């Protein structure tokens, strides 16, 4: 064996292993994105269903509690789907599919917000808590603040599962509909919490303060 | 693409690590039958030069070992060069010079503070054409010189032959960890030999040609690791170093963390000195094309890996601290289930694969050595400590060495 050829052989072998690794990585990421697309499409259908249901409350006098329960269940589901999406998104290195999916989810959640506002007008007795956060921020202080906001809101949701409709939305994905609403509500910094479309909180507050500002 | 600069750095790091592993693997698979082989040489006279400083406790044992080598007695002279020891080294050596004709003592007129000057004195005084350099606390195997000399006789371009340096009587944990390290170093040194890239022929036992040593100007007395410098010097002059894996020498190893730390800093400073000295050789011949980049990477990659890990770790710590601070202020939970969930990225997989390959290579190297009866007893606990603690601590010696090198405050002893 000409031992000097080992340099090239090892280089070729390393490149082959790396290329296989990269291709496998890209494949797994696309698989992950595909499974999320499937979940997202179901959620989109559910939201359309929800819109029809809201209309039905007006037109066919459907009971508010039935519609409210469905809205809460739907919001809870897309909340947990969003958590999965956030985790997968952080682990994605090649595919840009998840960015698009994220944007679609944010659109879906913005729609849910408008839907919830409509439901609130008709049925009352529910609070919308919209959490606007910054997507993919590199600012460590902001990341820490968002973790803390997230914990605070999760605790709130756990204590008031049937009164508080929690809707987290990334505020920097370029959705014009959301930007219009945020501008209208004077939300200039992230993270922010918008309570019942009236109160905006941008600084860290205690749980009791948050709870009292919602259930006053 | 969603790559940050840290991701890219991690990718490059993993690529280089994998390349080195695949290179070693390629070299081994193509030469596994010759790994422990050596050319059968015929005995020729050898001058053994042994520098000594305050080795009163070991020097007697070392001289005894040389006197009992499986080599014709009339073909060996032992020159012990004392570097103005403060202990009873000279008295011990004198007992041997009085008893054996082929044992000579030279006392340096001053304490030089290193091994290079005594070695040079001994080499100049040597009668024979082959020079074996031996540390005064090392014990060569009886047949080591017989196995090594054939390399020099077979090829005139071979300037030096080294052998497997093993830890002498490892009794505490630190020495047992070094024993693992020495096994792997010996194994990889043999693999590097296959591409003419041995970067050091260590002091415990190396066999040189005297005329070549004289031609390249003998050992550099200003270098902290005269053995690394000499190997590079020989390469720069067109000579090769060879490795006889089957020949063994047992070297004393540091038994305390303090002495280990000091030794490794000296090695690293010597390495840095050598890199600077031969900076004009970069990208020239095998020395500049592979040995120097390999050597620099070997020193830097560990630090780089630790630095990368430390950056990510401390970033995580800062994030956790701030998040906890805000959560405490908000009187909410400081930990949630979501904090423990995690999606693995492609980089995580590459990291795991690189780590597993490294682990496999270490175990494989030890198994190869064991199969040839070189390795000692198995101990999974020690091996785990070696892989997890020892290899992580090691890069810090390099950082300290760089600091001391920049400050210019270092000495051999």
Residue linked to tokens 């020239």: B284
pLDDT in tens, B56-76: 999 999 999 999 999 999 999
CA distance B52 to B66: 15
A5-60 and B5-31 helices cross at what angle (nearest 10)?
140
CA distance B29 to A28: 33
CA B331 to chain centre: 55
CA angle B290, B309, A141 (to 5 degrees): 140
| Euclidean distance between the first and the last CA atom of chain A, given in angstroms as a whole number | 83
Instruction: Identify from B1, B4, B26, B188 which residue to disrupt to test chain A contact, counting A C-beta atoms within 10 A and taking the largest count.
Output: B26
Contact B374, B248 (CB under 8 A): yes
Q: How confident is residue B273, by pLDDT bands cut at 50, 70 and 90?
A: very high
Of B26, B327, B345, the CB nearest to A13: B26
Q: Where are the beta strands (DSSP E) in B152-285?
A: 158-167, 205-209, 240-251
CA distance A14 to B251: 36
Q: How confident is residue B54, by pLDDT bands cut at 50, 70 and 90?
A: very high
pLDDT in tens, A102-140: 888 888 889 889 888 888 888 877 899 999 999 888 899
- pTM for the whole thing? 0.80
Instruction: Identify from B16, B331, B336, B352 which residue to disrupt to test chain A contact, counting A C-beta atoms within 10 A and taking the largest count.
Output: B331
CA distance B256 to B171: 11
B51 vs B366: which has the higher pLDDT: B51
Q: Which residue of A has its CA nearest to B20?
A: A10
Tokens of A145: 């603040």
Torsion of CA B51, B53, B56, B61, to 10 degrees: -30
CA distance B404 to B398: 10
pLDDT higher than threshold 70 for residue B312: yes
B41 vs A204: which has the higher pLDDT: B41
Contact B43, B207 (CB under 8 A): no
Of A1, A10, A151, the CB nearest to B22: A10
Contact B403, B267 (CB under 8 A): no
Q: Which residue of B has its CA nearest to A207?
A: B330
pLDDT in tens, A57-96: 666 666 677 778 888 888 888 888 877 877 777 777 766 7
Count Cα neighbours of B56 within 13 Å in the Cβ-side half-sphere: 9
Residues of chain A that touch chain B, judged by Cβ-Cβ distance less than 8 Å: 1, 3-4, 6-7, 9-11, 13-14, 17-18, 21-22, 25-26, 28-29, 83, 87-88, 90-94, 96, 140-141, 143-145, 147-148, 150-152, 154-155, 204-208, 210
Average pLDDT over residues B313-340: 81
Q: Could you give the strand order of the β-sheet that contains A199-201, starting from the edge strand earlier in sequence?
A: A164-170, A127-133, A192-195, A199-201
Count Cα neighbours of B245 within 13 Å in the Cβ-side half-sphere: 29
pLDDT in tens, B195-248: 999 999 999 999 999 999 999 999 999 999 999 999 999 999 999 999 999 999
Is the CB of A144 less than 8 angstroms away from the CB of B319? yes
Of B27, B319, B349, the CB nearest to A140: B319
Torsion of CA A18, A23, A29, A34, to 10 degrees: -170
């Amino acid at each position: 064996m000409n031992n000097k050829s080992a340099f090239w052989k090892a280089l070729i072998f390393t490149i082959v292993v790396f290329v296989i690794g990269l291709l496998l990585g890209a494949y797994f990421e696309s698989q992950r994105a595909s499974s999320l697309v499937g979940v997202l499409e179901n959620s989109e259908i559910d939201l359309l269903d929800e819109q029809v249901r809201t209309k039905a409350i007006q037109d066919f006098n459907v009971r508010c509690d039935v519609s409210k329960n469905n809205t809460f269940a739907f919001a809870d589901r897309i909340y947990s789907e969003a958590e999965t999406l956030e985790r997968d998104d952080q682990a994605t290195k090649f595919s840009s599919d998840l960015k698009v999916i994220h944007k679609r989810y944010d659109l879906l959640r913005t729609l849910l917000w408008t839907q919830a506002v409509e439901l609130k007008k008709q049925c009352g007795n529910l609070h919308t808590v919209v959490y606007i956060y910054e997507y993919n921020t590199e600012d460590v202080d902001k990341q820490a603040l968002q973790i803390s906001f997230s914990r605070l809101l999760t605790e709130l949701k756990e204590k008031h599962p049937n009164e508080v409709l929690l809707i987290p939305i990334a505020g920097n994905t370029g959705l014009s509909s959301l930007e219009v609403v945020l501008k209208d509500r004077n939300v200039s910094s992230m993270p922010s919490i918008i309570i019942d479309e009236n109160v905006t909180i941008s600084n860290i507050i205690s749980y009791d303060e948050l709870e009292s500002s919602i259930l006053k | 693409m969603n790559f940050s600069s840290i991701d890219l750095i991690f990718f490059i790091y993993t690529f280089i690590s994998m390349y080195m592993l695949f290179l070693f693997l390629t070299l081994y698979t193509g030469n596994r039958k010759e790994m422990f082989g050596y050319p059968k040489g015929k005995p020729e006279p050898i001058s053994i030069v042994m520098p000594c400083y305050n080795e009163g406790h070991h020097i007697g044992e070392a001289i005894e070992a040389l006197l009992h080598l499986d080599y014709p007695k009339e073909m060996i002279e032992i020159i012990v060069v004392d570097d103005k020891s403060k202990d009873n080294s000279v008295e011990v050596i004198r007992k041997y010079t009085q008893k054996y004709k082929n044992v000579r003592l030279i006392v340096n007129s001053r304490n030089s503070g290193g091994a290079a000057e005594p070695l040079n004195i001994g080499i100049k005084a040597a009668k024979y054409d082959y020079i074996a350099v031996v540390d005064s606390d090392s014990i060569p195997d009886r047949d080591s010189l017989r196995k090594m000399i054939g390399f020099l006789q077979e090829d005139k371009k071979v300037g030096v032959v080294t052998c497997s340096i093993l830890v002498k009587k490892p009794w505490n944990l630190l020495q047992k960890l070094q024993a693992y390290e020495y096994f792997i170093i010996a194994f990889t040194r043999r693999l590097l030999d296959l591409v003419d890239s041995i970067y050091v022929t260590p002091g415990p036992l190396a066999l040189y040609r005297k005329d070549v040593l004289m031609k390249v100007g003998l050992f550099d007395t200003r270098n902290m690791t005269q053995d690394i410098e000499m190997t590079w010097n020989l390469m720069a002059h067109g000579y090769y170093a060879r490795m006889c894996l089957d020949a063994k020498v047992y070297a004393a190893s540091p038994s305390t963390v303090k002495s280990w730390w000091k030794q490794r800093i000296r090695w690293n400073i010597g390495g840095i000195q050598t890199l600077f000295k031969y900076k004009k050789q970069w990208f020239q011949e095998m020395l500049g094309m592979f040995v120097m980049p390999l050597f620099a990477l070997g020193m830097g990659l560990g630090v780089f890996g630790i630095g990368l890990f430390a950056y990510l770790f401390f970033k995580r710590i800062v994030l956790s601290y701030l998040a906890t601070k805000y959560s405490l202020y908000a009187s909410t939970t400081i930990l949630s289930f979501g904090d423990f969930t995690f999606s693995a990225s492609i980089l995580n997989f590459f990291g795991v694969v690189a780590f597993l390959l490294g682990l496999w290579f270490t175990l494989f190297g030890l198994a190869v050595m064991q199969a040839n009866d070189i390795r000692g007893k198995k101990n999974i606990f020690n091996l785990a400590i070696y892989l997890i603690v020892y290899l992580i601590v090691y890069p810090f010696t390099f950082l300290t060495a760089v600091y001391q090198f920049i400050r210019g405050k270092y000495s051999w002893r």
